[in-house]
Amino acid sequence: MISLKNPIQIGKMRDAGKILYEVEQTLREAIRPGVSTAELDVMAEKLIRRNHAIPSSLHYEGYPCSICASINDEVVHGIPSERRILKEGDIVSIDCTLLLDGWQSDSAFTAGVGTISPEAEKLIRVTEECFFLGVRQCVVGNRLGDVGHAIQQHAQQNGFSPIREFTGHGIGREMHEDPAVYNFGEPGRGIRLRRGMTLAVEPMICQRDWHLTIDDDGWCARTVDHGLCAHYEHTVAVNEDGLPEILTLPGHTWEA
Ligand code: MF3
Ligand code: CO
Ligand code: CO
């Protein structure tokens, strides 16, 4: 069931998004060679709680941390650890979800550690571009297939491929609500977008083959061929008219 949100509810999700944006900026600045992913996790949890929010990944289906930190060929759900030290040339995807006053906010980004290869730079850039091209399709009357198609097209035109086994999702009082937001699809197919839908759009784009395996810890997903993977996610609200609002990117406006 898809739950539509009214402007007051979207306002609360906007407040949650603002805090999450701050958390992510802080983590971005902390990413450098020598830092462990556990340090980033502790930093995130403290900042979330200081803002009277709750880290919603913590204990979610038994997940042990407040962020996911996925390095290089890790796609999503990398568990932070003191033994995972970031090193020059790595790419790391940080995904964080928080709950403020009963409303969820979910966002992720991939950053390079120190200097990274031109190919890794390109993967990160293209993944972000995929997000914005997909979200541009999140307008009333369009369908989810239009969103997935835009993401898939841009990834493939650049020689990359979208992950198929994980998707974006509706979001609101729950972290994961209907509908699933696929990162591939056919134009004109799928659910029609309506005003008040709030979606986590999250392209996960890999360098080569999208097939993945899950580590023995039961969480960490990584590409079978060990190609790199990048992730970029925001919580967005579909408006009555015009382009969507990116709730986890305060101040963002669309170019004409
Ligand atoms: N933030 C993830 C998403 O984008 C979900 C987190 S899974 C958890 O949907 F187990 F880490 F909570
Ligand atoms: Co997320
Ligand atoms: Co999500």
11 domain-assigned = yes
- Helix H, strand E, coil C: the string for the chain is CCCCCCHHHHHHHHHHHHHHHHHHHHHHHHCCCCCEHHHHHHHHHHHHHHCCCEECCCCHHHCCCCEEEEECCEEECCCCCCCCECCCCCEEEEEEEEEECCEEEEEEEEEECCCCCHHHHHHHHHHHHHHHHHHCCCCCCCEHHHHHHHHHHHHHHCCCEECCCCCEEECCCCCCEEEEECCCCCCCCCCECCCCCEEEECCEEECCCCCEEECCCCCCEEECCCCCEEECEEEEECCCCCCCEECCCCCCCCCC
From first to last of its 256 residues, what are the pLDDT tens digits of the chain? 999 999 999 999 999 999 999 999 999 999 999 999 999 999 999 999 999 999 999 999 999 999 999 999 999 999 999 999 999 999 999 999 999 999 999 999 999 999 999 999 999 999 999 999 999 999 999 999 999 999 999 999 999 999 999 999 999 999 999 999 999 999 999 999 999 999 999 999 999 999 999 999 999 999 999 999 999 999 999 998 889 999 999 999 998 7
Residue ranges making up the domain that contains 187 = 7-246
State the total domains in the chain: 1
239 domain-assigned = yes
255 domain-assigned = no
Mutation choice for ligand 1 from 57, 202, 220, 248, CB with most ligand atoms inside 8 A = 57
253 domain-assigned = no
234 domain-assigned = yes
Mutation choice for ligand 1 from 37, 60, 70, CB with most ligand atoms inside 8 A = 60
pTM of the model: 0.98
Report the CATH number at residue 76: 3.90.230.10
236 domain-assigned = yes
Q: What spacing in Å lies between the alpha carbon of 255 and ligand 1's midpoint?
A: 30
